[in-house]
């Protein structure tokens, strides 16, 4: 009976990370840990705490101890408790800084007024939670498995691996990538057509310097401004392709003068979330064949699809006209600085001439470690585990919206590390301001729109659900739901 109660509590309760390090009784240590979490912002105002039975099971202490601690913190004003709403963190004004306290004492207890004698708008609080896109869950990096691969790779490495190196990258990694990409992503290649680089941005710079993509490149009308900036610095003007739910309208590529390449995110359009329709994939490849152009395929999160098996790469349709670009930034960590280009045969020498004779970008030891990690099966196991983890995260997001904001729709397919929340027209800026006041960092969809795009402007929020640590994810979702605009009713 006791075991079943504990299991039930562990299943139903939300996670709360607390370290009971204070000396004294368990109740005193728990109260001190909760006060500290509230002071430093880990527990934002109105965050719902776990039921005391669940927290007791997690911490291995008595239920009455947690109940007494909650009750005393309610009496002190740190927490609030309402019937049907559970126990929540109370709203507390931020304490004034030492400089402001000194100024208040100097003015007889009054805070100084801004210049002009009128109080200006208060700045938004510093972010407590982050739902910014682009980062995997840092805590899930497979440290033990990566270390084991590093040891094996270092032990087995030939002496010449510690010399100047090959600008294409280590042959061990290129062989492992050729096998993995063929099996997992449907890429048709061999190790001699793979060039290792330090990530997608590095690959884009190198391709820009080959001059094969000049003077104009087609890009999707929503995408990263950073990538457009890289191309602009290489002397390439970007031309936006309209988007709809089926991805970029690639049948219009033939009508664009001076365009010699098209940068696409076919598996999962970034950031709007739709896949490129099969007919439009074929149209892009047909345009490249007929015009002698190139399709640059950014497969930034192709392994992470949750509603069905991932769709294979466009590169498999024509390896001579598609440049496949990938990295471990989403699957493992951006800190590794490891990416790759799968190039058409006729492009390899030209790109290597631009890259230079010495490999100065990606560490050999990391390349050898990744090769072992792939060949030992560690990479597959990690990707499968993270696929389940991120699917749960996305499901939590969808469930929170269904409960608190059922009028807000999640667009795109169930995939990747981010989702777009569609907002009523004209509400994106106010939602971002509300999020900032909730201590939440996230992006609006408008920041990804190409300045020359003809696609209708969309209001939305780009929510990176992989970023928050596990113990604060529920709090981040609570803050998000509080920032969303209310349902609009017809006049």
HSE-CB for 313 with a 13 A CA cutoff: 30
Residue 92 is predicted with a pLDDT of 64
Outline which parts of the chain fall under CATH 1.10.10.10: 2-89
Residue 328 is predicted with a pLDDT of 97
Q: What CATH architecture applies to the domain 129-138+381-483? A: Alpha-Beta Complex (3.90)
Residue 359 is predicted with a pLDDT of 55
Whether the Cβ atoms of residue 450 and residue 222 lie closer than 8 Å to each other: yes
* CATH code linked to domain 2-89: 1.10.10.10
Residue 24 DSSP one-character state: S
The answer, yes or no, to whether the previous bond of 215 is cis (omega within 30 of 0) is yes
Outline which parts of the chain fall under CATH 3.90.1150.10: 129-138+381-483
Residue 96 is predicted with a pLDDT of 46
- Distance CA(102)–CA(97), nearest Å, equals 9
Among residues 339, 322, 321, which one has the least CA distance to residue 330? 339
Domain 143-376 has CATH 3.20.20.140: no
Torsion sign across C-alpha atoms 189, 195, 197, 203:
negative
- Distance CA(275)–CA(320), nearest Å, equals 22
HSE-CB for 381 with a 13 A CA cutoff: 10
Q: What are phi and psi of 219, to 5 degrees?
A: -130, 160
The 10s digit of each residue's pLDDT in 323-372 is 999 999 999 999 999 999 999 999 999 999 998 876 556 889 999 999 99
Collapsing DSSP to helix, strand or coil, 339 comes out as strand
- Distance CA(242)–CA(413), nearest Å, equals 19
Residue 122 is predicted with a pLDDT of 58
Outline which parts of the chain fall under CATH 3.40.640.10: 143-376
**β-pair type (460-464, 418-422):** antiparallel
pTM here is 0.74
Whether the Cβ atoms of residue 199 and residue 329 lie closer than 8 Å to each other: yes
Residue 9 is predicted with a pLDDT of 41
The 10s digit of each residue's pLDDT in 248-284 is 999 999 999 989 999 999 999 999 999 999 999 999 9
Residue 128 is predicted with a pLDDT of 87
Q: Based on the number of CB atoms within 10 Å of its own CB, is 425 exposed (0-12), middle (13-18) or buried (19 or more)? A: exposed
Low-confidence ranges of the chain (pLDDT < 70): 1-15, 22, 83-84, 92-125, 358-361, 489-491
Whether the Cβ atoms of residue 423 and residue 408 lie closer than 8 Å to each other: yes
């Amino acid at each position: 009976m006791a075991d079943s109660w504990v299991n039930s509590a562990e299943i139903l309760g939300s996670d709360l990370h607390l370290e009971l390090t204070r000396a004294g009784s368990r109740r005193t240590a728990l109260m001190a840990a909760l006060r500290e979490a509230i002071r430093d912002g880990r527990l934002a105002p109105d965050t719902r705490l776990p039921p005391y039975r669940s927290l007791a099971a997690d911490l291995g202490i008595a239920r009455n101890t947690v109940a007494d601690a909650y009750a005393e913190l309610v009496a002190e004003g740190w927490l609030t408790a309402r019937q049907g709403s559970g126990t929540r963190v109370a709203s507390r004004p931020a304490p004034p800084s030492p400089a402001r306290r000194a100024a208040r004492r100097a003015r007889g207890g009054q805070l100084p007024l801004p210049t002009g004698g009128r109080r200006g708008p208060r700045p938004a609080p510093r972010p407590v939670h982050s739902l910014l896109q682009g980062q995997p869950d840092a805590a899930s990096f497979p440290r033990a498995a990566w270390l084991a691969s590093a040891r094996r790779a270092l032990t087995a490495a030939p002496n010449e691996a510690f010399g100047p190196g090959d600008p294409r990258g280590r042959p061990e990694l290129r062989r492992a990538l050729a096998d993995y990409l063929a099996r997992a992503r449907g890429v048709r290649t061999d190790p001699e057509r793979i060039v290792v680089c330090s990530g997608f941005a590095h690959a884009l710079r190198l391709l820009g310097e080959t001059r094969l993509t000049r003077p104009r490149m087609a890009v999707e009308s929503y995408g990263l401004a950073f990538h457009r900036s890289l191309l602009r610095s290489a002397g390439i003007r970007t031309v936006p392709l309209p988007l709809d739910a089926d991805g970029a309208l690639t049948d219009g590529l033939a009508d664009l003068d001076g365009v010699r390449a098209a940068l696409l995110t076919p598996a999962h359009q970034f950031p709007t979330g739709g896949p490129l329709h099969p007919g439009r994939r074929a149209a892009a490849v047909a345009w490249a064949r007929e015009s002698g152009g190139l399709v640059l395929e950014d497969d930034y999160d192709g392994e992470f699809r949750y509603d069905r098996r991932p769709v294979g790469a466009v590169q498999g349709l024509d390896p001579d006209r598609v440049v496949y670009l990938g990295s471990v930034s989403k699957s493992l960590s951006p800190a590794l600085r490891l990416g790759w280009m799968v190039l058409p045969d006729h492009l390899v020498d030209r790109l290597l001439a631009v890259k230079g004779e010495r490999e100065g970008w990606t560490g050999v030891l990391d390349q050898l470690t990744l090769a072992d990690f792939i060949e030992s099966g560690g990479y597959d196991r990690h990707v499968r585990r993270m696929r389940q983890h991120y699917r749960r995260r996305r499901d939590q997001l969808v469930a929170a919206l269904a409960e608190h904001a059922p009028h807000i729709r999640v667009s795109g397919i169930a995939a990747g590390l981010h989702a777009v929340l569609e907002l009523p027209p004209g509400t994106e800026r106010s939602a971002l301001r509300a999020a900032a006041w909730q201590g939440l960092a996230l992006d609006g969809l408008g920041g990804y729109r190409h300045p020359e795009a003809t696609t209708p402007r969309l209001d939305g929020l780009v929510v990176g659900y992989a970023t928050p640590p596990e113990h604060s994810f529920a709090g981040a979702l609570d803050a998000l739901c509080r920032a969303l605009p209310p349902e609009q009713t017809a006049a």
